[in-house]
Amino acid sequence: MRCPYCGNDDTQVKDSRPTEDSGAIRRRRVCNACGGRFTTFERVQLRDLTVVKKTGRKVPFDREKLARSVNTALRKRSVDPERVERMISGIVRQLESLGDLEVTSDQIGEYVMEGLKGLDDVAFVRFASVYKNFSNADDFRSFLAELGLEDRADAGAE
């Protein structure tokens, strides 16, 4: 691992621990050249996944893109970042454990919706509105009715 201070490749691990979600390993390192101390987080990647888009185009799976989508839905919502990270790690583990090297964007969207549903109702509906391509207010009403949330939505509008 390259030292962020001097760029030397000769570093030594001083401590190694799993993170709380067990999705990564936290390592404390020391540079043998400059003595600088730094932390790295290493994730086990079971396999390289490919995402098959609705158009049929194939792109490499990008965990950061998944995280950006989730965080966009959660913008201005008070949800513990650790819960969000656990949800994202869980989605990645689910995708990797499917046994296929290719996953569809629909599969990813369904896993994200499932995760957000248990995390935050507003973020769930925000994500669904983009994922399901809502075009007007009736789409929201229909979606909330399917979930049994329409009565709550109507009560909030009064």
Residue 94 is assigned to a structural domain of this protein? yes
Number of domains in the chain: 2
Same-domain pairing of 68 and 141? yes
Q: Are residues 96 and 79 in the same domain?
A: yes
Q: Assess whether 36 and 74 both reside in one domain.
A: no
- Which long-range contacts does 6-9 make (Cβ < 8 Å, 24+ apart)? 6/31, 6/33, 6/34, 6/36, 8/32, 8/33, 8/34
Inside any domain, residue 3: no
| 34 plus 84 within the same structural domain | no
In this structure, are 105 and 138 located in the same domain?
yes
- Is residue 150 domain-resident? no
| 77 shares a domain with 19 | no
Question: pTM surpassing 0.85?
Answer: no
In a domain, 35, yes or no: yes
- Which residue range is the domain that position 18 belongs to? 11-43
Query: How does pLDDT run along the chain (158 residues), one tens digit per residue?
Result: 889 999 999 999 999 988 776 667 889 999 999 999 999 888 765 568 999 999 999 999 999 999 999 999 999 999 998 899 999 989 998 998 887 889 999 999 999 999 999 899 899 989 988 888 888 888 888 888 887 755 444 444 44
Determine the Cα–Cα distance for residues 37 and 35; give it in Å rounded to an integer: 6
SS3 118: helix
- pLDDT for res 6: 94
Q: What is the pLDDT of residue 67?
A: 94
Claim to verify: residue 54 and residue 39 sit in the same structural domain: no
